[in-house]
A and B are shown apart, each in its own frame.
Chain A
């Protein structure tokens, strides 16, 4: 690497400063002058007692002019002191200030060297290096950039509020962003403030109102900063505005919605000591004074329901005692409240999050309760819906699917007629399900309700016998819905199925349910064997028992695990005496003179899973055995009878094929659903099908092009394992049943919940998604301010400067192991005690302990809970705890006169105006201070015990008390971390925001234009936070008061001729100041430098393999020349 001579050999003047004896005392000035005199490109060397003095500066100026210098080196103190001075001086003579450099021969030479010769030697070398630098220096002019004179303050606690107000009052537009629904921060939670004991709210709320009303402040509460780009004076900030589902313009803060809302959840404003509604306002003085609806996805129970019933909604309403509202909500998606409340297979319960805690909510039985409750108190059936539509719809089959379809169509105002083959409606409900599970009145209740909407019914009308689908269209029906079910029993395909005494399960059940054939004599005292494992099989078995069968057994091919019947039904059957023979398949039905005498079975073992995912039964050879029986009931499976629909497309196993989006069959205008399509399925699935068909039919009749059923994949509400661990176990309400002795009749087995049981059970609900979308609030809101369809919005702002006031949290006491991991209700943290003391708090200012509301007679306060504990928790002092603990103790004694306040402390730190006096006051008023740490806190037999040490007496202390208040450490909010990553600003190891200089730049960050306010930067009390806020504000104002910003020109450029477009420098640049762009040829790439972004670190120059990236006035050849000069003898 050969040093190349610069074209213009500069005339450089060197001025050596004596700095009194500071330099001259060690460095032999005259020798320096002598040795530099003839050094290349040095035109003149002079010295002066004090170059920085006026005469000194004049000497420099005059020499520059006289000697026509075009470069200056001043050998003196550190450039940090007088570089600006001498550059100004040089500039005044007309040469470019960047051609004047400082050789630091004081701090880095004369002051640190004893030997005079060596010091002189070093000084000469240092000066030579700088001479070389100047030789290559180029004239530079600072880059000037415009400023957007709009500020943003992130965090609207007291610090953020103060900063915003100060900037706004200086006349600059200010955007205030707060993540919570209201501004005010932690200060709004405090009761009274030390040392003056004035009410926190009373002094804060006026400021909050001022923010709201200030013309220069734009407040974005319930919003978060999501992205930042740009540089000082010109930032772009993206802000996400979370929706409140409430229109701020309309909400008048009346609070009717909260009264109507059935959902109660933990109130974080009261630090978890009270409950709030899903629609809430953190506190009465909130700013803005509007409500917010909290949503966390959708509850799993709602997602699990095939018919999309809002289970969470009606459970919540039951918990709130709003039974009718609950029922109405349920019926929006399913008219069979009474029926499903009894026989639903309730997937909602199996998906209930409460499973993770103890047992699921008894959602199904709760549904039954509201249905029964309505009947019990006497109901008014709804008036018929006015027929606003004219296209008639025919529904064939009066089972659940048909009825549901009719119901939803009727509600839309369509004229609907149901054609039913049997004399009455209900389909499988009345023929298939025995009365002891589903009594007739229960079915009637729902059917009456459905028909009340104005539905025409024609019974005893059998398709194919009394009418055809053709006729219907001829009679002017525009659409037909087929719901004839699956009632064709399948045979086993073994010898002997035609013997007398062999029944198809559906026939058997129908005879009994419709009393069309009396089987009592036939069954009474006989042995009955049911073949199959579905609900029908179990129903048949239990029915047989009730008919007086002497013994009843169910024969099933697989094991209990695979049995499709509802678990709870199987259990009842066994209780009632039904025997179940597992892993056995019938091979032959044995008969004697055409009467059944038994079944020959074969033992099975389970093989690999089959298509249905259940394990396949495989016969074990030579394992035949015989079950003696008089009656055999075949409950293998049922299939739809589709012989009536020859020209409709069918599946392999003979069900009707429909378009899943609108349930239309292969023939236009003909729709189908229920078991006819799905094969034997549940009531709720039939309802779902009916509803979907209704929607499909409407789309068809209104000629809307069919929109495919959108498959929403909702974010299902979940909790973390930690959260689950926190829920208290509560027993699930048991369904009361009639005693086994009464199970010989067809009396309904389950009796239903009492009101109290129902309410208590409903209150077990975890409210997974918080808001249950029952829409009660919408009904309640007269201002019509609520819209559950609102979405989050985001907006981008251009700002010039930004103040970070992200505040603090108190350390979660759950991590304080020795203090009980937060499992003891009467061991609370400082913030909780503030709420207890606060007049607006959960106990309205009376000191009562959380567990039982008793007034604590002895309270132990533990300072430094998590602070000053580097081994386990936070190494730092949280600063405010000493004072607020003294305040707590004092206020406690004021409220509870005979109370005893004991404080454990390591040190009491009272640095602050009036602090020591306040501490004194506390001790004077009888607060007991024990110097020592607390090793263990535990609660047993209703009292809290504290183990500690008294380091003054050196004794172990064991104290029983009623409540413990932990002065838990102040820690940064989790949001601070996220924000710091977004803003690329530094955090210290504890996660506090780092200031630019601990002493001289305490409110600035390393990033120009970002300033710090409040506890986000470290533990602070209110006055400090406010003071820092004002300081930060004044920094912003100072920045904005400039016309434009000067940007140092010591930046890295690029030499296009050398740049190969490798892009290495793009990666290393911390400021995105370098971009790869296509050259004119459109093929090769080259680097584009965004000069204003470059901070001049030079990383790119070091990384550049071709030497194309060169830092101005610190180029490769410059540095190499300097190195060389520094080394030459």
Chain B
């Protein structure tokens, strides 16, 4: 199997580990992520301004590129996934026929409805299947207590994304169980991490991430996984500030789900990029005997 793949900006810089582990794991699991020949910023935030077509051009250009290569597009970053999928829906929403015509004419490229914007997790669950992944597991993550943090962009608006139950998401939990780890349930799986308000209202953003982290730690998790670079940043790096404010705070490592996937499938060393975390995850993994010190 081969999927057109849209990495998105962060996955080339801060979120290398999210990207690399995903590609390598894909190979082990028998499918390939084929990067778009050309791609541009997804737009980062889905524009809800209906008459601002310029905002739609960016994401739709990516879709159009993907359409040339196949009838699906796989992304990893929750934000990209959210924006690209909703832009696609926007194009084919009833009543938008004129707008669609205009946009596609502007892009001078053919495009049609038979295009699926998929998140990597959807590929794992629906196309590969947990059973197939289970047999490929080299390093069972037995005994590792993982809190899967989904964040908002992956789940909402639920009726549009149809990704998972926004109040009780399961897919990352299922993945972790498949890899042998113990998924930890906590009430804030889908709450906002603080997102972009980090810039203009840092205190509120901080409160958001702290609420989530507190609950995760209270629930007895040893680490967190996310699928969104922004979440990863807020939940991981914000711990620095949290500790300044409340010294008692106990640090907890935050992975991308692909890192644990890769680890379980036997990836090692550089690929896992265990170094670009604020909270160093290595001690935990060593203690669990998953990597050697």
Are A821 and B167 touching (Cβ within 8 A)? yes
Cα(A340)–Cα(B167), bound, Å? 49
Give the residue name and chain of the A residue nearest to B214 (CB).
A940
Are B187 and A938 touching (Cβ within 8 A)? yes
Name the A residues within 8 Å of B188 (CB-CB): 938
Q: Which residues of A942-956 have CB atoms within 8 Å of chain B's CB atoms?
A: 945
Is B218 an interface residue, CB under 8 A from the partner?
Answer: yes
Cα(A938)–Cα(B215), bound, Å? 11
Interface string of A808-830 (1 = CB under 8 A from B): 00000000011011000000000
Is B4 an interface residue, CB under 8 A from the partner?
Answer: no
Is A941 an interface residue, CB under 8 A from the partner?
Answer: yes
Are A817 and B165 touching (Cβ within 8 A)? yes
Interface string of A924-942 (1 = CB under 8 A from B): 0000000000001011110
Are B167 and A940 touching (Cβ within 8 A)? no
Q: Which listed residue (B165, B166, B219) contacts A940, Cβ 8 A?
A: B219
Are A817 and B166 touching (Cβ within 8 A)? yes
Q: Is chain B's interface secondary structure helix, strand, loop, or mixed overall?
A: loop
Q: Which listed residue (A817, A939, A940, A945) contacts B168, Cβ 8 A?
A: A817
Shortest C-beta distance, A943 to chain B (Å), equals 11
Most buried by A among B168, B188, B218: B168
Most buried by A among B168, B186, B187: B187
Name the A residues within 8 Å of B168 (CB-CB): 817, 821
Shortest C-beta distance, A966 to chain B (Å), equals 14
Interface string of B166-189 (1 = CB under 8 A from A): 111000000000000000001110
Cα(A936)–Cα(B166), bound, Å? 12
* Total interface residues in chain A, CB < 8 Å: 10
Cα(A1074)–Cα(B167), bound, Å? 54
Give the residue name and chain of the A residue nearest to B219 (CB).
A940
Interface residues on B, range: 10 to 19
Shortest C-beta distance, B180 to chain A (Å), equals 16
Count of A-B residue pairs with CB < 8 Å: 19
Cα(A258)–Cα(B64), bound, Å? 70
Cα(A945)–Cα(B215), bound, Å? 12
Q: Which residues of B131-179 have CB atoms within 8 Å of chain A's CB atoms?
A: 165-168
Q: Which residues of B213-253 have CB atoms within 8 Å of chain A's CB atoms?
A: 215, 218-219
Name the B residues within 8 Å of A938 (CB-CB): 187-188
Cα(A940)–Cα(B221), bound, Å? 13
Give the residue name and chain of the A residue nearest to B186 (CB).
A940
Give the residue name and chain of the B residue nearest to A814 (CB).
B168
Whether A818 touches B167, Cβ cut-off 8 Å, given contacts A940-B218, A940-B219, A941-B218, is yes
Cα(A828)–Cα(B253), bound, Å? 36
Whether A817 touches B218, Cβ cut-off 8 Å, given contacts A938-B187, A940-B187, is no
Name the B residues within 8 Å of A820 (CB-CB): 187
Cα(A820)–Cα(B167), bound, Å? 8
Cα(A728)–Cα(B215), bound, Å? 22
Q: Which residues of B34-80 have CB atoms within 8 Å of chain A's CB atoms?
A: none
Cα(A610)–Cα(B92), bound, Å? 55
Shortest C-beta distance, B61 to chain A (Å), equals 33
Give the residue name and chain of the B residue nearest to A938 (CB).
B187
Cα(A938)–Cα(B167), bound, Å? 11
Cα(A821)–Cα(B168), bound, Å? 8
Q: Which residues of A656-686 have CB atoms within 8 Å of chain B's CB atoms?
A: none
Give the residue name and chain of the B residue nearest to A939 (CB).
B187
Cα(A560)–Cα(B242), bound, Å? 52
Name the A residues within 8 Å of B186 (CB-CB): 940
Are A817 and B187 touching (Cβ within 8 A)? no
Name the B residues within 8 Å of A821 (CB-CB): 167-168
Shortest C-beta distance, A497 to chain B (Å), equals 40
Are A817 and B167 touching (Cβ within 8 A)? yes
Name the B residues within 8 Å of A817 (CB-CB): 165-168
Cα(A941)–Cα(B215), bound, Å? 9
Cα(A938)–Cα(B218), bound, Å? 13
Name the A residues within 8 Å of B165 (CB-CB): 817
Cα(A818)–Cα(B187), bound, Å? 10
Name the A residues within 8 Å of B166 (CB-CB): 817
Interface string of B181-224 (1 = CB under 8 A from A): 00000111000000000000000000000000001001100000
Name the B residues within 8 Å of A941 (CB-CB): 218
Cα(A940)–Cα(B186), bound, Å? 8
Most buried by B among A820, A821, A940, A945: A940
Give the residue name and chain of the B residue nearest to A824 (CB).
B187
Name the B residues within 8 Å of A936 (CB-CB): 187
Give the residue name and chain of the A residue nearest to B191 (CB).
A936
Give the residue name and chain of the B residue nearest to A821 (CB).
B168
Cα(A820)–Cα(B166), bound, Å? 12
Name the B residues within 8 Å of A945 (CB-CB): 187
Cα(A821)–Cα(B213), bound, Å? 22
Shortest C-beta distance, B129 to chain A (Å), equals 17
Cα(A859)–Cα(B187), bound, Å? 20
Cα(A941)–Cα(B216), bound, Å? 12
Name the B residues within 8 Å of A818 (CB-CB): 167
Cα(A941)–Cα(B219), bound, Å? 8
Interface string of B263-287 (1 = CB under 8 A from A): 0000000000000000000000000
Shortest C-beta distance, B143 to chain A (Å), equals 15
Shortest C-beta distance, A811 to chain B (Å), equals 15
Shortest C-beta distance, B188 to chain A (Å), equals 8
Name the A residues within 8 Å of B218 (CB-CB): 940-941
Name the B residues within 8 Å of A940 (CB-CB): 186-187, 215, 218-219
Name the A residues within 8 Å of B167 (CB-CB): 817-818, 821
Give the residue name and chain of the B residue nearest to A936 (CB).
B187
Give the residue name and chain of the A residue nearest to B215 (CB).
A940
Cα(A821)–Cα(B218), bound, Å? 20
Shortest C-beta distance, A553 to chain B (Å), equals 27
Give the residue name and chain of the B residue nearest to A819 (CB).
B167
Give the residue name and chain of the A residue nearest to B166 (CB).
A817
Give the residue name and chain of the B residue nearest to A816 (CB).
B167
Name the A residues within 8 Å of B187 (CB-CB): 820, 936, 938-940, 945
Cα(A945)–Cα(B166), bound, Å? 19
Cα(A818)–Cα(B218), bound, Å? 20
Cα(A953)–Cα(B166), bound, Å? 28
Shortest C-beta distance, A891 to chain B (Å), equals 30
Give the residue name and chain of the A residue nearest to B167 (CB).
A817
Shortest C-beta distance, B190 to chain A (Å), equals 10
Name the B residues within 8 Å of A939 (CB-CB): 187
Give the residue name and chain of the A residue nearest to B187 (CB).
A938
Cα(A820)–Cα(B218), bound, Å? 17
Shortest C-beta distance, A823 to chain B (Å), equals 8
Shortest C-beta distance, B126 to chain A (Å), equals 18
Shortest C-beta distance, B124 to chain A (Å), equals 20
Shortest C-beta distance, B21 to chain A (Å), equals 30
Shortest C-beta distance, B45 to chain A (Å), equals 23
Cα(A217)–Cα(B273), bound, Å? 79
Cα(A119)–Cα(B5), bound, Å? 71
Cα(A302)–Cα(B72), bound, Å? 50
Interface string of A900-942 (1 = CB under 8 A from B): 0000000000000000000000000000000000001011110
Shortest C-beta distance, A372 to chain B (Å), equals 34
Name the A residues within 8 Å of B219 (CB-CB): 940
Shortest C-beta distance, B118 to chain A (Å), equals 24
Cα(A672)–Cα(B281), bound, Å? 67
B interface residues (Cβ-Cβ under 8 A, vs A): 165-168, 186-188, 215, 218-219
Taking A936-B187, A938-B187, A938-B188 as given, write out 16 further A-B residue pairs in contact, using a Cβ cutoff of 8 Å, ordered by the A residue number: A817-B165, A817-B166, A817-B167, A817-B168, A818-B167, A820-B187, A821-B167, A821-B168, A939-B187, A940-B186, A940-B187, A940-B215, A940-B218, A940-B219, A941-B218, A945-B187
Q: Which 10 A-B pairs have the closest CB atoms?
A: A817-B167, A938-B187, A821-B168, A818-B167, A817-B168, A940-B218, A941-B218, A940-B215, A940-B187, A817-B165
A interface residues (Cβ-Cβ under 8 A, vs B): 817-818, 820-821, 936, 938-941, 945
19 contacts across the A-B interface (CB closer than 8 A) = A817-B165, A817-B166, A817-B167, A817-B168, A818-B167, A820-B187, A821-B167, A821-B168, A936-B187, A938-B187, A938-B188, A939-B187, A940-B186, A940-B187, A940-B215, A940-B218, A940-B219, A941-B218, A945-B187
